[in-house]
Structure 1
Amino acid sequence: MKLIRIRKLVLLTTLMGFVAFLNSCKDNFLVNEPPGSASESVMSTSTGVESLLIGAYDMLNGNGYFGGAMATDWTYGSGASDDTYKGTTFGDQSSFNQVERYNTNPANPYMAERWRDTYNGVSRANDVLTNLWKAQESNDPIAEDRANEIEGEAKFLRAWYHFKATLVFEKIPYIKTAEELGDVAPEKVPNDSEGWEGIEADLQFAIDNLPEDSPKGQPGRADKWAAVALKAKAHMYQNEFDKAKPLLDQIIDSGQFELVDNYFDNYRQDTENNVESIFEIQASVQTGVENNIIMAGPASHQKGPAGVGWGFFQPSQDLFEAFQTTEDGLPVLDKEDRDPLANDMNMGSDEEFVPTDHELDPRVDWTIARRGVDYLGWGIHPGEAWIRAQSNGGPYMTKKFFYLQEFSDNTADGGFDNPRNFRALRYGHVLLWRAEIAVEDGNLGYARELVNMIRSRAKNSDYVMGRVTDYTLDSQPAEEDINWDEPAANYEIEPYPVGSAAFSSQENARKAVRLEHRLEFATEGLRFFQLRRWGIADQVLNDYIQRDSQFRTFMQGASFDPQRDDYWPIPQSQIDIQSDVLTQDESY
């Protein structure tokens, strides 16, 4: 198997062999630890603690394909928003139907997946800390500098997993080590807060003790800047702009990061761990090691030459139309002012369909797979022939989680698993968060400058190429019907000029920044959480349901209740186990 990039944090270690080696060296076999067990005497050593830390990183992806897919949050952050549908067929994964129709109940297994995976991550981080502190009290302590780094990495991860829990459940128990909790057993910690105090404290320790470069020189480990960015994000999600602002300025002023030249370099597997990436969740499919962004297979096409997946995660018509621009290359801020764009819903690939010639932001065709446009080198997308169930999921698929055809020999499980990292925190996030704050501060000029950095990069990036003139696609068009020297669509994008109406008032500027968030990070598991923190989820999602129901009948009768549906219920199975400790959201 060809290895495209070997700059990955290895996530598996041979603990069993390590334990066996230690046991073989003991003089008295009567006091040997049980063979194959990871005993305290083994784990409270430098090698043991480092191995536990790798195990804590390993949970960043989660284990569940749907409710537990923590790296991307595609179920809660995108599937519950106006960006994407569940996709596939109506009866497939009915638990997802509840999420996207806003009628989830506590027995939904996705809730149990999320709870399990977040707190498994917390438990692993706490195991690192417990054994680290024991190692430091032993006769062979870890060097102080490295010990502080290990504690910083573990506390960063503990904060990360709690953050992922509170995004979904709101009120959570913040679980620390037994030593930190004192007289309170971990299973007796109530869910009486959002956990922000613990998240911020852990991240501050990480900021104070992690180096500016990846510990041990290994990409994928949390460093100081990852902790600064995550703490800024925590403040943004609490609308504490005065606390996020200096952290974001610290990152910007550091000169450590910049936008990469090409937008899609944030998604290619040969441009990973680049100058824009602040914290990147690593993936690998090397022989014997499979650590993947586990929703990649479910989100892939089920049919066609790239049909290795299950056909979930289909972009909405609403998202597609958000990418339209004016003749001047500027976004249309208000949905009611956007033009309806042609789509091939309910049309077979053997029927003629002329794609829209409306001006579009070029990021649309790096985000959405649609008819008449090249699909990552796999061929011109023919529409219905490659869609699993167009009548239910619509005519589009996502692009950001699949791999370019040129990398198809660097996959596993027939292509279902691929080694593409996920840029969880990147400089683009920092710039747009800072633009939000500038708007609220009334500094509209600076907000426009920051947004224009994002838009100028999109303008100067590589475009999807290949203008197709054959509009019947029951087979791939002949080469003479594809102009590979011409962009695939009518792309028009420009930065906002001085005096633009979009930055003439705080209200307009707020819309401009929020729309830029959507265009830049569409399908990346952020949209629902952003609508909630902006306080506009009710307005946006109910409008989306009303409009979308005319396009896709599955959403008819759905509604979003901001008092109930802003968060999801704690799994009933966990309430049953800790009925005297955990309190269910009263809305459920």
Structure 2
Amino acid sequence: MNKNFPYRAIAGIMIVTAAFTSCDDDLNVDPQNALTEQDFLNNPDNAVQLVNGVYNKMLDFNMYSFPWIGMTSITSDDADKGSTPSDTGSDKHKLDALTFDPSDISFNDVWQGRYAGIYRANNALFYLEQLTINQSLKDRLIGEVKFLRAFWYFDLVRCYGDVPLVVQKIDLNDTETINQTVFVRRPKADVYAQIEADLTDAIGKLPLKSQYPSADLGRATKGAAQALLAKAHLYQQEWEAAFTMAGEVIGSGQYDLMDDYAQVWRETGENGSESIFEVQATLTKGMIQYTDVQGPRGTPDLGWGFNTPSVNLSNSYAANDPRRQATIMYVPGTLWDGFIAPTTWNNPRYNYKSYQSSIAESWNGNKGETAKNLRLLKYSDILLIRAEAAFHMGNTTEASDRVNEIRGRVGLGELSGITLQQIYNERRWEMAMEHDRWFDLVRTGQAQAAMAADGKTFIVGKHEVFPIPEAQIAVSGGLLTQNNY
């Protein structure tokens, strides 16, 4: 199995810490071995390593691990905090109950993680423009970095609404620029405009998935940029643009649904036909605690036991929908790899999609840093975007066709006379526990009712966005403003 290109951070020109992020330890080097800026610019071979240093950020704890899991999944009706009643996970009990506030650590971690990634991206773009290398390689690398920057701004705008928009290399001694740019929230319309600009540029620069050599499989592609742009349009209710861009991905011939839904999130599904973009992890450079946080807790101990699928989610599936058994690990039972899930585990359900098998998948005993890739964009997501946009445009035939394509993959009967709620339901079942449910509820106006049905109180006018981290407002000297909290 090919675990694809490794993420290796390049040091030297990036030995700095941003005023608006935490320190990036993996960029620190012995000063005696550090490259000078001139050394770097005179060696075009460093270009790829420079961009790999941007990708590398995705593996960190404050990107897609515990804080992100809490904000995007535990908050929703798909999942509960899990673990044990006494283990709160710092603030995950408050996220679960929707009683969180600006001081909670998850909000600051997610903010810091994205802006640390954006900081790397801005630095990389600054130096890429100065490198004398093959133009097509330069264009491709710029496209990759702009895709990553757009992705992180998409996370930020969905989480916080108006956020600072920083798209240039920042001089950390330039207090005026920091005060006017880093510490000033921009309207979310401006943020989406930047996301669209970055992705449009990336689309023109990036190759198709099939045009990458196997060693580079997993890098950002034209299809990935088109997919993220379709999703950005969907969130802004720009139906025709979302419909068209999703159609570009579908019509590219680069992607298809896997035959077996249960395989999509296993190692066998990594970078497969259904994968559009995912975090690349290896045994020597893995994702920090994504699987560990959600692994079964008890005896034998496989993890922390957080983010357990809810009864609400379990009961929402049709009785004959195989996606339920592929998404929810039921205890007791026998897992897909033959491992026995015992009654000595603390919770009756766990997230099957985050499960890393120590028996049948790449494993070195380090459950805190696993080789499991994280899917960020999938083909089924694009089919559902196309269906939802088509419905809003009055094209119910296309909406039905795309939904029935997804249902057909798992052996479910076709729907006729499709409704918007059926599309929403299909999206929930197809993408359960994949960190979209909270955002889907908010953007479609279902959050208040869905949370009430799950025993939670969603306050309209407040909970559509998370609070700006209290720690960031303090660092800004009060220049950053707060949401309605």
TM-score, scaled to structure 2: 0.88
* SS class of match (2:293): coil
d(CA) in 2 for partners of 1:406, 1:178: 45
Shift of 1:226: 0.6
* SS class of match (1:134): coil
d(CA) in 2 for partners of 1:447, 1:429: 13
* SS class of match (1:107): coil
Residue 306 (structure 2) aligned to one of 298, 305, 312: 312
In the other structure, the counterpart of 1:376 is 336
Shift of 1:71: 10
d(CA) in 2 for partners of 1:537, 1:543: 10
Q: Aligned ranges for residues 182-261 of structure 1 at < 5 Å?
A: 185-189=177-181, 190-194=184-188, 195-213=191-209, 217=214, 218-261=216-259
In the other structure, the counterpart of 1:532 is 442
In the other structure, the counterpart of 1:451 is 403
Shift of 1:15: 5.4
Instruction: Tell me the amino acid that sits aligned with residue 321 of structure 2.
Output: D
What is the CA RMSD across the aligned residues, in angstroms?
2.5
Shift of 1:430: 0.7
State whether residues 240 and 393 of structure 2, in contact with CA within 8 Å, keep that contact through their aligned partners in structure 1: no
In the other structure, the counterpart of 2:148 is 157
* SS class of match (1:172): coil
* SS class of match (2:80): strand
In the other structure, the counterpart of 1:362 is 322
* SS class of match (1:424): strand
d(CA) in 1 for partners of 2:350, 2:31: 51
Instruction: Tell me the amino acid that sits aligned with residue 306 of structure 2.
Output: F
For the pair shown, the structure with the greater C-alpha radius of gyration is: 1
* SS class of match (1:298): helix
State whether residues 331 and 345 of structure 2, in contact with CA within 8 Å, keep that contact through their aligned partners in structure 1: no
Shift of 1:234: 0.7
In the other structure, the counterpart of 2:167 is 176
* SS class of match (2:401): helix
Shift of 1:322: 0.7
* SS class of match (1:86): strand
Shift of 1:186: 4.4
Shift of 1:193: 1.5
State whether residues 146 and 202 of structure 2, in contact with CA within 8 Å, keep that contact through their aligned partners in structure 1: yes
Specify whether residues 147 and 282 from structure 1 end up closer, same or farther in structure 2 by C-alpha distance, changes over 3 A only: same
State whether residues 308 and 416 of structure 1, in contact with CA within 8 Å, keep that contact through their aligned partners in structure 2: no
Q: Aligned ranges for residues 483-522 of structure 1 at < 5 Å?
A: 493-496=412-415, 500=416, 503=418, 509-522=419-432
Instruction: Tell me the amino acid that sits aligned with residue 386 of structure 1.
Output: W
In the other structure, the counterpart of 1:131 is 127
d(CA) in 2 for partners of 1:70, 1:380: 26
d(CA) in 2 for partners of 1:438, 1:71: 35
Specify whether residues 418 and 580 from structure 1 end up closer, same or farther in structure 2 by C-alpha distance, changes over 3 A only: closer
* SS class of match (2:353): coil
In the other structure, the counterpart of 2:460 is 562
State whether residues 3 and 280 of structure 2, in contact with CA within 8 Å, keep that contact through their aligned partners in structure 1: no
Over 6 Å off, 4+ runs: none
d(CA) in 2 for partners of 1:293, 1:430: 28
State whether residues 297 and 308 of structure 1, in contact with CA within 8 Å, keep that contact through their aligned partners in structure 2: yes
Residue 437 (structure 1) aligned to one of 379, 385, 389: 389
Shift of 1:146: 0.9
1:271 partnered with 2:269: yes
d(CA) in 1 for partners of 2:375, 2:262: 12
d(CA) in 1 for partners of 2:165, 2:395: 37
Instruction: Give a deviation string over 1:421-471, Cα, whole Å, max 9, x none.
Output: 122111101111111112112222221211111111112xxxxxxxxxxxx
Shift of 1:247: 0.6
d(CA) in 1 for partners of 2:154, 2:67: 13
d(CA) in 2 for partners of 1:116, 1:432: 31
Specify whether residues 14 and 235 from structure 1 end up closer, same or farther in structure 2 by C-alpha distance, changes over 3 A only: closer
Shift of 1:516: 0.7
d(CA) in 1 for partners of 2:84, 2:390: 44
Instruction: Tell me the amino acid that sits aligned with residue 36 of structure 2.
Output: S
d(CA) in 2 for partners of 1:145, 1:403: 38
Residue 94 (structure 2) aligned to one of 78, 98, 102: 98
d(CA) in 2 for partners of 1:160, 1:39: 30
Shift of 1:386: 1.7
d(CA) in 2 for partners of 1:7, 1:370: 29
d(CA) in 2 for partners of 1:260, 1:293: 27
Residue 49 (structure 1) aligned to one of 42, 47, 59: 47
d(CA) in 2 for partners of 1:523, 1:157: 22
Shift of 1:223: 1.1
State whether residues 73 and 433 of structure 2, in contact with CA within 8 Å, keep that contact through their aligned partners in structure 1: yes
State whether residues 308 and 414 of structure 1, in contact with CA within 8 Å, keep that contact through their aligned partners in structure 2: no
State whether residues 73 and 524 of structure 1, in contact with CA within 8 Å, keep that contact through their aligned partners in structure 2: no
In the other structure, the counterpart of 1:335 is none
Shift of 1:297: 0.6
In the other structure, the counterpart of 2:27 is none
* SS class of match (1:531): helix
Instruction: Give a deviation string over 1:242-277, Cα, whole Å, max 9, x none.
Output: 211111111112222111111122111123211111
State whether residues 123 and 169 of structure 2, in contact with CA within 8 Å, keep that contact through their aligned partners in structure 1: no
Instruction: Tell me the amino acid that sits aligned with residue 407 of structure 1.
Output: A
1:292 partnered with 2:287: yes
Shift of 1:49: 2.9
Unaligned runs of at least 5 residues, structure 1: 20-32, 136-140, 326-358, 460-492, 504-508, 546-557
Shift of 1:517: 0.6
Unaligned runs of at least 5 residues, structure 2: 16-29
d(CA) in 2 for partners of 1:41, 1:123: 21
Instruction: Tell me the amino acid that sits aligned with residue 472 of structure 2.
Output: Q
Shift of 1:55: 1.0
Shift of 1:179: 8.7
State whether residues 71 and 422 of structure 1, in contact with CA within 8 Å, keep that contact through their aligned partners in structure 2: no
1:574 partnered with 2:484: no
Instruction: Give a deviation string over 1:65-85, Cα, whole Å, max 9, x none.
Output: xxx426994222211100001
Which one is further off, 205-214 or 369-378?
369-378
Specify whether residues 184 and 430 from structure 1 end up closer, same or farther in structure 2 by C-alpha distance, changes over 3 A only: farther
d(CA) in 2 for partners of 1:35, 1:183: 29
d(CA) in 2 for partners of 1:413, 1:43: 37
In the other structure, the counterpart of 1:464 is none
Specify whether residues 280 and 159 from structure 1 end up closer, same or farther in structure 2 by C-alpha distance, changes over 3 A only: same
State whether residues 296 and 401 of structure 1, in contact with CA within 8 Å, keep that contact through their aligned partners in structure 2: yes
TM-score, scaled to structure 1: 0.74
d(CA) in 1 for partners of 2:420, 2:299: 41
d(CA) in 1 for partners of 2:325, 2:449: 28
State whether residues 60 and 71 of structure 1, in contact with CA within 8 Å, keep that contact through their aligned partners in structure 2: no
Q: How many pairs does the alignment contain?
A: 459
